[in-house]
Amino acid sequence: MTGEESVGDLAEPPRSRWRASASGVRAVPADWMVAARPGCPAGTVGELIAAHAAVRPDAVAVRQWDTELTYAELVATAWRLAGTLRELGVGPETRVGVCVGRHPGLLVALVGVLLSGGAYVPLDPDLPALRLTETARAAGVARVVADDAGRAVFAGTGLSLVDLPGAGPAPAAFPCPAMPANAAYVIYTSGSTGLPKGVVVTHANVAAFMTGIRERGRIERGCRALAITSIAFDVSVLELLVALMVGASVQLAAESDRADPDRLRRFMVSHDVTWAEVAPALLPLLDPADLPLVRSVVTGAEAPGPEQVARWTADGRRLMNGYGPTETTVAVAGFVASGEWHRPIPIGRPMLNHRLYVVDERLRLVPPEVPGELLVGGPGVSRGYLDAPGLTAELFVPDPFGDEPGERLYRTGDLVSWGADGQLRFHGRTDRQVKVRGQRVELAEVEAALRTHPGVAHAVVAAVSDAVSDAVSDAALGRAGVSLAAFVTPAGAPDDEELRAHLAARLPAVMVPTRFRRLAELPLTTSDKVDVAALVSGLTDEALAEVADVPGVPRELVAVWSGVVGAPAGSAEDDFFAAGGHSLAAMRLVAALRSELRRDVAVEDVFAARTLGGLAKRVAAAAELSDVDDTDLPTGNPPSLSAAQRRLWFLDQLAPDAAAYNIALAQRLRGPLDPDALRRALIEVVARHDVLRWRVPDDGGHPYAVLDKESTAVPLPVEDLTALSTSDREHAVRDRLHAEAAIRFDLAEGGLLRARLLRLGEDEHVLAITAHHAVFDGWSERILYQELGAAYAGRTRPPLPAAFADYVVWREKRAGRRGKEDLAWWTEHLAGAPTVLDLPRDHPRPAEQSYAGAFAATDLRPATDAGIRSLAVELGATPSTVVLAAFAELLRRVSGQNDVVVGSPVADRRHTAFADLIGFFVDIVPLRLGGAGECTFAELVTGCRDELFDALAHPDAPLERVVDALALPRDPSRGALVQVVFNVYNFAQAPLELPGIRVEQLPPGVPGSPFDLTTYLVERAGRMRFELVYNTDLYTAQRIETLLAALVHLVDAAVAGPHRPIGALEVPHLDVLRSGLVREPAAHVEPAADIPGTRRGDGGREKEVPPAAATERAVAAAWCAVLRRDSVGVTQNFFDLGGTSLDLVSLAKLLPGDPRVVDLFLYPTVRTLAAFVDGTTDRDGLDGDIDGGAADSPVTSGGS
């Protein structure tokens, strides 16, 4: 080919053009540009997926924690949806919207539309509603397959909304009416005209892509493929559809699991992921050593850092850098990298069946090492743009280089060159299109959206490097990438917040600029064009300014913050997200904080804190990273009890007949179960997690942990119920589960996890597992089921990085460093708070706390669920915080107290080594929740949010220490400080997976109620519900049902009118709820005199009167021994002298008469206790007067 040849002049046979030209310029070898053509599979996408259901029906098609669908189930459900769509007139070339959240129903929706013959239009419900409705209108969509989240978006739009079908048998099959040439999906990309462009991709295009990526990216049948990409982006086609087309198992990560690197790591490990597509920005934030099962990684959209190659391929793992525009079906080229790499990663050579040409501005082929525009040919080239024939003709041009007539090339606009090694290298763009966080963005579209604001006259958007600050090292910040900056006129244009909100309602988050600058006029070049270089230069100069001092914030933190957001920090109130922060920026910020400040912070800390000042508090409270690095974590520690375990041991001594701290689980198993294999699996799990082999004896009232040997047997008794009728069997199952849950454990004897199998039929069983809370928590349920399933199936699990005893040592070290400061914060924060929250009751409160419990629950309406989530986003809070605010307001209304204390359990699994351990990692924090009738509900939510943030920033003062420090009066009829608890179960529960067995979760028995009332916000499969556990010796079921209904009503009203005063929100049946038995309000918390000396230790103002009678002397001697004092007075209070709850157990063992621990609460002075021991005082004579409390009195409501 000579230098004068153009596309129009090329008349000689194609192959001859690739020889060296007459001028000696080396031409590009043919095998660089054209890949082999093995052909593509016949059939549509839906048919290729359905074929796997015929040959491998029981293979898992999609899994998300406790929810999975086999290929048979997925395809059967998709056929039902397809049938519904066909009845509604859907067929080939009919476009159907899919607006479904990230749960397995998403796969049903996509495959169902494809089997109906239609083409799906992805509408991610997490995108702005205005963007989605405009996309649906532009695509000509008349029907949208929607779940609850989708219905919330499209309600009232006039579009026909189609529900996802429920489970059931497959309908009579009908042929898929689509052909390979028909459209499979229409996906929208950013448009240079200011409007997004719809790309029409056919079934044949997807089949061609599958052929290429299967060979280059090694996605294949049987692999477990990670799916983390929004359906709004075409990489989702690879993760979802192609994975199913090849027979892989899709591991679908929910939004919460994909938003944080540590959660994503846990998700990948828990789901045994073997294949993953990982964005380049995420590669440095994941540790390949944590993911040994992942053997193939595909990355792309932008080049990964060269240093990532060695990290990810050191152990033989395959890493492919992929390339491809949406218009050519996801990817058309790829480079497999390995070893040490110190230069930019190439985009490689064409995948199977594809052709890549590099041309100059006159569309002439250019030789190696010369940059030119990349043109793509092959069966992956899509049909073009929807309803845009002119643009299609401009960018999809006839292929003069191909062997087949009628073939087309797509002009990518990407500048590339062939290297001497035959690999393509990327150099940039020929236009104003940029990549932001891996997504294609046309700057003109962002500018057009800005100009729709009435306060903006002119707008220019530029792409700038995130790494515009030299205050922090590049290594600390990671690969910076690109963000957007907007420059608008006039100088009085709206502020950043208003402009950002305007764009956020119209554009995906990736297209919203991180920085805004208002100018009187835009600078121009000598040719009267906007001088973008001058604008960016000014922005860079500003960002590179000296790091400013921000009061109350360490200078190092200000530098890190400024380096990540790309602009100087102005004040402690600077909001990370208002400054343009996003999830990937949060990951970079965390990486920098860990590297530069050596603090153990997580992405959740950034989301929770939001402001620079808030983050400073969380960083100050975070553990030093040297203490939490896996390499520095001391392992192999002997068993020792945590503070929380010692508290549970004491409560067990206090109420030795109660079982309230049992955790009960139950599963129905259908299929050919092997009980012996299940028994062996249980033994293996208990051997692997040694905390399950702990027992807790005591020495003179001092508890300690003992580890039993690994060979400890785990009995699995089998009870045969097959002789009963069907109805009797089900009644027997419920009775057995309730009875099993209520059997208490003997902590000293051990065996703190037990199992029982109920045989209902030859192929039907119920497995009941019960564990004591001292060795098990809610998070442990997921781990137990995963480990049990793996052991039953004979799968080998990697060694655990630590044991629970290592956690105890780690926690104590951290508490030793931060405990004093955190305790001081809690005592100051709780000063003046009420010590009791006594809701009106139906029964007199027993003198000793009862743990009898029952359960009530209700599901939230989809509209309520959506309203909670929407308000949470608006206020920068979590959905659970919104519910907590409503619950606190209900408690204030019912109790008549403006200030309430509510306990909230928090998991302490911040170290990655503890994420996969069974154990008791839970603390309870006492949240002080005040309110006033004139504040709005939104203000109440932000107040709860800030209270949670502050509590989480002071984790190293356990509740036991806080109670002791506050010197609260002891009352054996209720828990100290916390009587009402709000708990959140928002982690997904993994199912018990046993080969050949279908598993169904059953409601277990209620072992008891540890508190007066516990409200659970439970989220399963994307739906919220309220569950209440209550003390039946205090409340009737009718009162609790009324309370539950009132809570639901209040939440509905609050999310419907969050900016109304809370006093205007009606609570139904308030007169009923406020009528009942109560006690006089207890004293409020007083500030402690000494921290950390939890008490004065002098017995208060009581004069020390020496004991006189023999029994008084014996009791006083026991007190002196326990309190390590030389003398005590007969009227001094045990707790005022420095005694703790745990000390009571030691005291009981030294006293004559074998008193119970609870009796020592009732008689807290030497004189009263001696009288009890002598028998001159009995418990019945207390008349309800306990430690200054008062007897119950009836109240009736006079308010509403």
Per-residue pLDDT at 330: 95
Give the range among 505-509, 899-903, 1067-1071 with minimum mean pLDDT: 505-509
Pick from 488-502, 517-531, 537-551 the range whose average pLDDT is largest: 488-502
| 111 closest CA partner among 81, 141, 147, 70 | 81
Give the range among 405-419, 613-627, 1097-1111 with minimum mean pLDDT: 1097-1111
CATH of the domain at 876: 3.30.559.30
pLDDT band of residue 900 (cuts 50, 70, 90) is very high
Its pTM stands at 0.58
Over residues 75-122, the pLDDT tens digits come to: 999 999 999 999 999 999 999 999 999 999 999 999 999 999 999 999
- β-strands 67-70, 95-99: how paired? unpaired
Checking if the pLDDT of 1019 tops 50, the result is yes
* Cβ–Cβ under 8 Å, residues 989 and 786: no
> Regarding predicted confidence, which is higher, 1102 or 907?
907
Checking if the pLDDT of 1170 tops 60, the result is yes
Task: Please check whether residue 682 lies inside any domain of the structure.
Answer: yes
User: Which helix or strand (DSSP H or E) is residue 892 part of?
Assistant: helix 879-895
Same domain, 575 and 540: yes
User: How far lies 646's CA from each of 236, 267, 650, 702, in Å?
Assistant: 49, 32, 6, 9
**Cα(1011)–Cα(976) distance, integer angstroms:** 10
Calculate the average pLDDT of the chain.
Answer: 83
Same domain, 770 and 835: no
* Cβ–Cβ under 8 Å, residues 253 and 103: no
The structure tokens listed for 345 are 């990663």
- Mean per-residue pLDDT for 1033-1053? 96
Per-residue pLDDT at 36: 76
Over residues 297-308, the pLDDT tens digits come to: 999 877 788 888
Beta bridge partners of 96: 120, 143
Q: Please count the other Cβ atoms lying within 10 Å of the Cβ belonging to residue 1167.
A: 21
Per-residue pLDDT at 703: 93
Same domain, 1118 and 1031: no
Per-residue pLDDT at 394: 92
pLDDT band of residue 776 (cuts 50, 70, 90) is very high
Q: Mention every residue, 6+ apart, whose C-beta is less than 8 A from residue 168.
A: 76, 77, 80
3-state secondary structure of 896: coil
Q: In what order do the strands lie in the sheet with 197-202?
A: 160-163, 143-146, 95-99, 119-122, 183-189, 197-202, 384-385
Task: Please check whether residue 1099 lies inside any domain of the structure.
Answer: yes
**Cα(126)–Cα(968) distance, integer angstroms:** 47
Domain boundary among 1050, 1077, 1104: 1077
Q: Which residues of 860-896 are buried (b: 16+ CB within 10 A; e: fewer)?
A: beeebbbbbbbbbeebbbbbbbbbbbbbbbbbbbbbe
pLDDT band of residue 817 (cuts 50, 70, 90) is low
Same domain, 655 and 608: no
Checking if the pLDDT of 1016 tops 60, the result is yes
pLDDT band of residue 469 (cuts 50, 70, 90) is very low
User: How far lies 1128's CA from each of 1123, 1156, 1167, 1187, in Å?
Assistant: 9, 22, 11, 19
CATH of the domain at 1105: 1.10.1200.10
Checking if the pLDDT of 5 tops 50, the result is no
Same domain, 935 and 874: yes
Same domain, 618 and 654: no
Checking if the pLDDT of 284 tops 50, the result is yes
- Mean per-residue pLDDT for 503-516? 83
Beta bridge partners of 34: 355
Task: Please check whether residue 961 lies inside any domain of the structure.
Answer: yes
| 556 closest CA partner among 527, 581, 529, 592 | 592
Task: Please check whether residue 762 lies inside any domain of the structure.
Answer: yes
Amino acid at 1057: G
pLDDT band of residue 1177 (cuts 50, 70, 90) is low
Same domain, 777 and 838: no
Give the range among 717-731, 931-945, 1092-1106 with minimum mean pLDDT: 1092-1106
> Regarding predicted confidence, which is higher, 1165 or 44?
44
pLDDT band of residue 168 (cuts 50, 70, 90) is low
Domain boundary among 805, 838, 868: 805
Per-residue pLDDT at 645: 93
The structure tokens listed for 1082 are 């207890």
- Mean per-residue pLDDT for 635-651? 89
Task: Please check whether residue 977 lies inside any domain of the structure.
Answer: yes
Per-residue pLDDT at 854: 93
pLDDT band of residue 506 (cuts 50, 70, 90) is confident
**Number of structural domains found in the chain:** 4
Same domain, 732 and 594: no
Q: What are 403-409's contacts with CB under 8 Å, separation 24+?
A: 403/14, 407/377, 408/377, 408/381, 409/355, 409/357, 409/375, 409/376, 409/377, 409/381
Same domain, 891 and 959: yes
Checking if the pLDDT of 1185 tops 80, the result is no
Per-residue pLDDT at 1079: 65
- DSSP labels, 1012-1059: SEEEEEEEETTEEEEEEEEETTT--HHHHHHHHHHHHHHHHHHHHSTT
- Mean per-residue pLDDT for 1175-1184? 48
Per-residue pLDDT at 1047: 97
Checking if the pLDDT of 1200 tops 70, the result is no
| 443 closest CA partner among 484, 482, 481 | 484
Task: Please check whether residue 259 lies inside any domain of the structure.
Answer: no
Question: Which residue range(s) make up the domain with 1112?
Answer: 1095-1200
Give the range among 244-258, 565-579, 661-675, 773-787 with minimum mean pLDDT: 565-579
Domain boundary among 592, 622, 652: 622
3-state secondary structure of 325: coil
Checking if the pLDDT of 489 tops 60, the result is yes
Per-residue pLDDT at 192: 64
Per-residue pLDDT at 1015: 96
Same domain, 1046 and 1118: no
Per-residue pLDDT at 608: 66
Task: Please check whether residue 37 lies inside any domain of the structure.
Answer: no
Burial class (CB in 10 A: 0-12, 13-18, 19+), 8: exposed
Checking if the pLDDT of 779 tops 70, the result is yes
The structure tokens listed for 229 are 């990409």
**Cα(880)–Cα(948) distance, integer angstroms:** 11
| 228 closest CA partner among 196, 290, 164, 271 | 271
Over residues 247-283, the pLDDT tens digits come to: 999 999 988 788 777 788 889 988 999 999 998 878 8
Q: Please count the other Cβ atoms lying within 10 Å of the Cβ belonging to residue 644.
A: 23
CATH of the domain at 489: 3.30.300.30
Same domain, 444 and 527: yes
Per-residue pLDDT at 1154: 74
Checking if the pLDDT of 133 tops 80, the result is yes
Ramachandran region of residue 899, left (φ > 0), alpha (ψ -120 to 50) or beta?
A: beta
Task: Please check whether residue 1169 lies inside any domain of the structure.
Answer: yes
Tokens 């006033």 label which residue? 932
* Cβ–Cβ under 8 Å, residues 190 and 441: yes
Pick from 299-313, 509-523, 747-761, 986-1000 the range whose average pLDDT is largest: 747-761
Same domain, 561 and 678: no
- Mean per-residue pLDDT for 688-698? 94
